Amino acid sequence: MPAVTLPALIEAAVDRWPAAPALDAPGTLLTFAEAEERANRLAHRLIARGAGPGDLVALLLPRSTDMVLAQLAVAKAGAAFLPVDPAYPEERTALMLRDAAPALTLDAKEVAGLLAAPAEDVPAHRPTDSNRTRPLDLDDPAYVIYTSGSTGRPKGVVVTHRGLAAFCAAEAAHYQVAPGDRALAFATPSFDASVLELCMSLPHGARLVVPRPGPLLGAELADTLRAERITHTLLPPAALATLPPGTPGTLPDLKTLIVGADACGAELVARWAPHHRMVNSYGPTEATVVATWSAPLAADGGAPPIGRPLPATGAYVLDARLRPVPDGVAGELWLTGPALARGYLGRPGLTASRFRADPFGPPGTRMYRTGDLVRRDSGGELHYLGRTDHQLKLRGHRIEAGEVEATLVRHPGVLDAVVSVREDEPGQPRLVAHLLRAPGAEPPAPAELRALAARVLPGYMVPSAFAVLDRFPVTENGKTDRAALPAPAPVEERTRPEYVAPRTPAEEALAAIWEETLQTAVGAEDDYFLLGGDSMRALLIASRANDAFGVTLTPRDVLASRTVAALAELVEEQVLSELEEAAYDAGPDPVHDDPGTPGDAYGPDSEDAAYGGHDHER
């Protein structure tokens, strides 16, 4: 596959398989030709608004076919797309948009309106450089993904079309993707795993299956893989572990199972590798999705390797003085090649510190410092050992401890904070914050700290536990000794309110779901975090509650509600709202809807109008 831009990759696929299914979602099935026509028209509308090469277009949409069409349209216009999770806290979204300064910002409602607008006056042909604000180049940005930042604010990684083309050229062969295959869109669009899913499918004639927005875990994920006959999927190990134990071997269509985003344990390999072609993939956002991958894994009892670099990628294992280390010796992983990102958006100093001149390559080439500790075995396979800095990994999410710490010290009662991932219970990693109390201040309440963090940070970056210390332990050279930080004492258990039994059917059902997930007795007023809840368990609770009630809860709803009682109120509101909409859509009731009654003045129309229509946020 030649080095071409993302629009050219997609257009070549349309030319080869115009009538083949491209996008498959509940209620929607688009062929390659149909998807391209919609993306072309939207691209021309974006060009008319001034978007072009070098510009950013922010897309505030959940996982959906509209999101994929919008990404393709932005690429065809020549601009770079910036996916923003609409479930992020408002403050974080505002911070990202201020930092990125996009030329356009589109949400789900606006994209849906543009796609549904009359097409007569909008061209359907492919935009070319003659239509764009300037010619599109391989080194122009294709997309920007924001990751956690050590200084307290997220940083945008700028990935070019050249890097994307290098990745697309290699993945079809290694993952064995063929026309007619069916890839699952599992990832949230704000994570670059969604780019892998897009590039693994459409450029190679495969169908991208887009499930409904929201968490997809456990039995629901297994049912989706089976019912949609998924042949290829990328799953973080934490998500894979939620599948029912009997699932391996019951997915006859699954040809390639890719694991990535976090370290994969030997137990998962032992469970899945005998039944499916399982590939371990590794790569920071700065190296365009995937930098190394393994051969098909074997259940040999050991932790799986992260494999070898992609054909166009180089991997150096270096010591602190940037000297290669012998095989078998631990060193820091540096990456090189055309797949490297351009750098960090608007952060030249940070870019210069992480992207260095490559002393082992031709003049002008660069290498990227991953911060990951690895070793290379005698067979050339790389093995992940951990981090060299304070960046954390929790269930597939990359977290800069400094960003969480900077948020916590905004509380007037906190002098300093150290955040780490601890696994005090085997198999239950969690984010823990150790704090120093500000002089003269009252000890900060965990509930206040969680509320502060939740206003600014995504749910997976909100600590599950807090410990207030008189001082941090230090090493001999005076640095904070993170390894010596104590496990959080269960002091919060003493603040747990007196048990209140569930009082309504919704509370009873939700309490049962919480008890199944948290493995403890749950009352209507018990605090989610005091029960040991975290962002991963919130995903499971939301998924199970959605199955039970037919609603659309998000993990953030669970984290924000914090009690069974509050979450039950939200469930009841959603159920009532859906019943009202269903009744309205069904037409007038001949008995109760007398056109002459005064009650006609206040009905579904006026209520929805007050909140901005049927799709208002609740």
Assess whether pLDDT exceeds 60 at residue 514. yes
Least-confidence region, from 92-101, 223-232, 396-405, 607-616 = 607-616
Q: Which is more confidently placed, 352 or 154?
A: 352
The answer to whether 259 and 281 are in contact (CB under 8 A) is: yes
pLDDT digits over 88-119, tens only? 888 889 989 999 999 999 999 999 999 988 87
DSSP secondary structure, 244-281, as one string: -TT-TT--TT--EEEE-SSPPPHHHHHHHTTTSEEEEE
Assess whether pLDDT exceeds 70 at residue 579. no
Alpha helices in 117-176 (DSSP H): 161-175
Same structural domain, 97 and 45: yes
Phi/psi region, residue 468 (left: phi>0; alpha: psi -120 to 50; beta: rest), is beta
Calpha distance 455→92 (Å, rounded): 8
Q: Taking residues 38-56, what's their average pLDDT?
A: 95
Same structural domain, 545 and 491: no
Calpha distance 585→120 (Å, rounded): 30
Calpha distance 513→404 (Å, rounded): 29
Q: Tell me how many helices (H) and strands (E) the chain has.
A: 18, 25
Assess whether pLDDT exceeds 80 at residue 425. no
Amino acid 606: pLDDT: 28
Percent of the chain with pLDDT over 70: 89
Assess whether pLDDT exceeds 80 at residue 480. no
User: The tokens 């009654």 sit on which residue?
Assistant: 597
User: The tokens 């062929």 sit on which residue?
Assistant: 31
Same structural domain, 511 and 486: no
**Bridge partners for 366 per DSSP:** 357
Calpha distance 264→388 (Å, rounded): 19
Amino acid 492: pLDDT: 46
Amino acid 502: pLDDT: 87
Q: What are phi and psi of 144, to 5 degrees?
A: -130, 130
Instruction: Tokens for 400, please give them.
Output: 């800069």
Last residue of a domain, one of 468, 495, 522: 495
pLDDT digits over 287-316, tens only? 988 999 999 999 887 788 999 999 889 999
The answer to whether 336 and 365 are in contact (CB under 8 A) is: yes
Residue 475 domain-assigned (yes or no):
yes
Residue 572 domain-assigned (yes or no):
yes
Calpha distance 212→251 (Å, rounded): 20
Instruction: Tokens for 21, please give them.
Output: 């299914």
pLDDT digits over 111-135, tens only? 999 998 887 788 899 999 999 989 9
Residue 161 domain-assigned (yes or no):
no
Residue 447 domain-assigned (yes or no):
yes
Calpha distance 56→76 (Å, rounded): 13
Same structural domain, 67 and 118: yes
Residue 121 domain-assigned (yes or no):
yes
Same structural domain, 519 and 460: no
**Bridge partners for 416 per DSSP:** 436
pTM above 0.85, yes or no: no
Same structural domain, 467 and 406: yes
CA distances from 332 to 316, 339, 369, 374, 549 (A): 8, 19, 8, 6, 48
Assess whether pLDDT exceeds 70 at residue 608. no
Give the domain range for residue 515. Answer: 505-610
Residue 105 domain-assigned (yes or no):
yes
Calpha distance 146→100 (Å, rounded): 10
Same structural domain, 535 and 588: yes
Q: Which is more confidently placed, 201 or 240?
A: 201
Calpha distance 31→33 (Å, rounded): 5
Q: What CATH number is attached to the domain comprising 118?
A: 3.40.50.980
Same structural domain, 465 and 425: yes
> Which residues does 480 contact at the CB level (< 8 Å), separation at least 6?
418, 472, 473, 474
Total of domains in the chain? 3
Amino acid 254: pLDDT: 96
- DSSP, res 324: B
With b for 16 or more beta-carbon neighbours within 10 A and e for fewer, the 318-338 pattern comes to beeeeeebeeeeebbbbbbbb
Same structural domain, 491 and 517: no
User: The tokens 């909140």 sit on which residue?
Assistant: 611
Same structural domain, 486 and 514: no
pLDDT digits over 246-267, tens only? 899 899 999 999 998 777 877 7
Last residue of a domain, one of 107, 136, 165: 136
Assess whether pLDDT exceeds 90 at residue 150. no
Q: What CATH number is attached to the domain comprising 596?
A: 1.10.1200.10
Residue 368 domain-assigned (yes or no):
no
Alpha helices in 457-554 (DSSP H): 505-518, 535-549
Last residue of a domain, one of 136, 152, 177: 136
CA distances from 387 to 77, 160, 330 (A): 39, 26, 11
How does the average pLDDT of the chain come out, rounded?
A: 84
Same structural domain, 130 and 75: yes
Same structural domain, 546 and 469: no
Q: What CATH number is attached to the domain comprising 413?
A: 3.30.300.30
Q: Which amino acid is at 186?
A: F
Residue 35 domain-assigned (yes or no):
yes
